[in-house]
Amino acid sequence: MENPIRLLYLLQKYDHKLMDLEEEKGDLPGIVRNLSDQLKELQSQIDELQTNINLHITTSEKSTLDAEALSDRVESLKKQLYEVRNNKEYDAITKEINDAENNITQKLVNADEHESKQNELQSSLNDLKEKHESIENDLDERQSELQSVSKIHEEEELQLQHERDKIARQLSPDTIAVYDRIRSAKDGKAVVPIKRGACGGCYKTVPPQLNLLLRKNDEIRFCENCGRILIAEEIAAEVNKVA
Ligand SMILES: [Zn+2]
């Protein structure tokens, strides 16, 4: 089993190289992610609006159909008026006609209201769809840009990733977890060499006995001040020579 500190330092070298490659892609990955998020958000707004519009259409159609049915009823009631035998019957039918006609007016007003609401929403929907299309075009463009930039580095990236994985496989998951945690907390620098008796991360002096232990011991030790993993200067120099 190889010295885990040496391996971690090597791992970090590859991580830095991979990060540099990522940086060469510039803002593109972020822009692509941002545009994709915007598209998703817009699509859900469009879906919601469409559901709403459909509801207004259905309600408007239902009211129109109701009004038509009532009109038919009025027509037939009007015919019945010719056949009435007494005033009471005449009054009853006249009342029903009046009620139905009022109802028809209400239904038609209701249908109109829903139709104008639907038209209003339809115009918002068109705006959203237009926006969606323009972002989609933008995203397509940025994505192909990113693809061509990535393609240039693809082989190098694969190679580095492969080497990195080979090193990572020699380390325990716990060790990698510690490394990852410090790396994300300390701006990518988890393992630092001791330089002139001080931590290479925070420049605080390291106790001489710790420095000695690091030179012969395989155990992972941390800077008491910044919490980074320390590596002896000579071992770091060796790693720097190979990678
Ligand atoms: Zn430190």
Distance 182 CA to ligand 1 centre (A): 12
Position 218 scores a pLDDT of 77
In a domain, residue 6? The reply is no
Verify that 31 and 145 share a domain, yes or no: yes
Closest CA to 224 of 234, 238, 237, 214: 214
Please write the tens of the pLDDT for every residue from 171-215.
999 999 999 999 999 988 999 999 999 999 999 999 988 888 888
Contacts of residue 34, defined as CB under 8 A and 6 or more positions apart, other chains included, come to none
Does the pTM surpass 0.85? The reply is no
Verify that 32 and 109 share a domain, yes or no: yes
* Residue 6 token pair: 């040496």
Distance 231 CA to ligand 1 centre (A): 11
In a domain, residue 77? The reply is yes
Which of 154, 186, 221 finishes a domain? 154
Verify that 144 and 194 share a domain, yes or no: no
Distance 225 CA to ligand 1 centre (A): 5
Residue 7 CB burial class (10 angstroms; 0-12, 13-18, ≥19): buried
Verify that 119 and 34 share a domain, yes or no: yes
Distance 223 CA to ligand 1 centre (A): 5
Position 1 scores a pLDDT of 57
Q: Whats the size of the chain, residue-wise? A: 243
- Its domain, for residue 57, covers 26-154
In a domain, residue 89? The reply is yes
Distance 221 CA to ligand 1 centre (A): 11
Closest CA to 231 of 187, 193, 181: 193
Low-confidence ranges of the chain (pLDDT < 50): none
Strand, coil or helix: 221: coil
Position 187 scores a pLDDT of 87
Which of 123, 154, 185 finishes a domain? 154
Query: Around 200, how many Cα atoms within 13 Å sit in the side-chain half-sphere?
Result: 16
Contacts of residue 5, defined as CB under 8 A and 6 or more positions apart, other chains included, come to 191, 214, 218, 220, 229, 230, 231, 235
* Residue 50 token pair: 């469409």
Distance 243 CA to ligand 1 centre (A): 23
Position 18 scores a pLDDT of 93
Verify that 119 and 207 share a domain, yes or no: no
In a domain, residue 159? The reply is no
d(C-alpha 184, C-alpha 236), whole Å: 21
In a domain, residue 164? The reply is no
Position 149 scores a pLDDT of 86
Verify that 134 and 187 share a domain, yes or no: no
Distance 3 CA to ligand 1 centre (A): 21
Position 117 scores a pLDDT of 97
Verify that 143 and 41 share a domain, yes or no: yes
CA 151 to chain centre: 24
